[in-house]
Amino acid sequence: MRDSSRSSRGAARLPRRSLLALTVAAPLSAAAAPASAATASIGGERLARDGVQVRGATGLPKKLTARSWLVADCETGEVLAAYRAHQRLAPASTLKMLFADTVLKKFDRTERHTVTDADLAGVPAGSSLVGIRPGITYTVEQLWQGVFLRSGNDAVHVLAHMNGGIEKTVAEMQAKAEDLQALDTHVVSPDGFDHRGQLSSAYDLTLFARHGLKDADFRSYCATRTADFPAGGRKTLQIQNTDRLLTGAWGVRTYEGLIGVKNGYTTNAGNTFTGAATRGGRTLLVTVMHPGSGGNAVYEETAALLDWGFAHGSSAQAVGTLVEPLSEGGASASPTPARRTARAAAGAPGAAAAGPSTWRLLEGAAGTAALLAGGVFALRRRRAAAGADSGGRHRR
């Protein structure tokens, strides 16, 4: 559903110097890229295989349509079952988990910031918005509520500008992904909006969620169902979390024990979701990417995998592991030369940081960019078909 009473913000015009600075190393499709053979070193070689990976347990849901999924124990990091865990797909707003992992601890939640036009200048048209307005002063806590509850790209851009700008934030997010050993991830923008070459995987998104849930603020924000948000003057409006397993919206039953974490949708990416739930003292993580049908399928398949994990996970033998961050003593799963070649094809972090907005496409649109002689690009946009459950292009 399109953010209520929020209009789309016009896409920023690309400056000539940014166009000429573009790298041509990005993949031709932002929708998907195959997992590299070298990902066998990340989390275990079984996670790089095709087909469902499970050992010692039965009863997996039979009607899973997702292009990739993963079930893991949050505490131990054991991967209990997976399907194409390293398949590189467009992440949509689930990438905001990495944004939070990177930026959340930089500002005290009580810090106040008065938004300027410049803070919002680059918010892409068609974005999901929480409704931030120039001239209004927000606390950092309110901005993060806008990110987690409404998946507001406007809130992301304000926080990114507070962090020193979009380019700096993208570079830091890519560095954070490297530290977390999320080597399937290539960051082009901090908000998850569709961009050429912006990719992640079920494995990497689960790493982002697990790392984030160690932080009390991250955990609190992603578990918040509703909040009062400034609307100018003394007025406020109530915003509700778009995670349907948390709120029970749109006919989805709330999931017992759910503690977050992040959902996403674009026409290009389809639906993505990483959820975490605790039962009987055990916390499980499930990531589901791009189920075959729209609407509630991503939540239904997540719930089914969580049910399986709680019912059968204790008998499952690990088929892999969620690696630990390098900065926290994790053993390095250094990419092989083949892996480094695959990552170079996606675009180096430095190249992405040099101009993330230059690959901007309308989220969910079938926009294409063509390189012309002399380094001049022509950007052409088409309207996207209506989303599975809304008329908007960008979804959470």
Which residues have a Cβ under 8 Å from the Cβ of 395 and sit 6 or more positions away?
92, 93, 128, 264, 265, 266, 267, 271, 364, 387, 389
Annotated active-site residue 96? The verdict is yes
CA pseudo-torsion sign 260, 262, 267, 268: negative
Has 151 been annotated as catalytic?
yes
Least Cα distance to 196 among 6, 7, 14 occurs for 14
Q: Tokens 């990552």 label which residue?
A: 343
Neighbours of 137 (CB within 10 A): 10
How many Å separate Cα 221 from the centre of its chain?
15
**C-alpha–C-alpha distance, residues 364 and 249, integer Å:** 23
Choosing from 8, 36, 41, 93, which is the catalytic residue? 93
3-state secondary structure (DSSP) of residue 213 = coil
Return the number of other C-beta atoms located less than 10 Å from residue 374's C-beta.
6
Number of Cβ within 10 Å of residue 235's Cβ equals 9
Nearest Cα to Cα of residue 390 among 267, 297, 226, 253: 267
Q: Measure the CA–CA gap between 201 and 238, rounded to whole angstroms.
A: 33
Among residues 8, 41, 96, 357, the one annotated as catalytic is 96
Catalytically annotated residues: 93, 96, 151
